[in-house]
Amino acid sequence: MGSVVIVGGTSGIGRELAGHYAGTGRPVVITGRDQVRAEGVAAEPAAAAGTAAAAR
């Protein structure tokens, strides 16, 4: 399995998808207009179960 890039992953469906894919153990890169929110999503428990990182 490859990495997943979620564009607009700081809210709504993108945020849910980021948590879902990170929870499966896939590496996830989360992008969004707000870097602080992207970092917050990457630090959430579901994302922390996998490998999630915020990118700008």
Which two three-digit tokens encode residue 23? 């929870």
* All residues at 6 or more sequence positions from 27 whose CB lies less than 8 Å from its CB, including other chains: 3, 4, 50, 51, 52, 53
pLDDT digits (tens, 9 = 90+) for 27-46: 899 999 999 999 888 888 66
- Overall average pLDDT of the 16-25 stretch: 88
CA-to-CA separations, 27 to 17, 48, 52, in angstroms, rounded: 12, 10, 6
pLDDT at 14: 94
Counting DSSP H helices and E strands in the chain, the numbers are: 3, 3
- What domain range includes position 47? 4-55
Q: Which amino acid is at 54?
A: A
For 55, phi and psi rounded to 5 degrees?
A: -130, 150
User: Count of domains in the chain?
Assistant: 1
Model pTM? 0.79
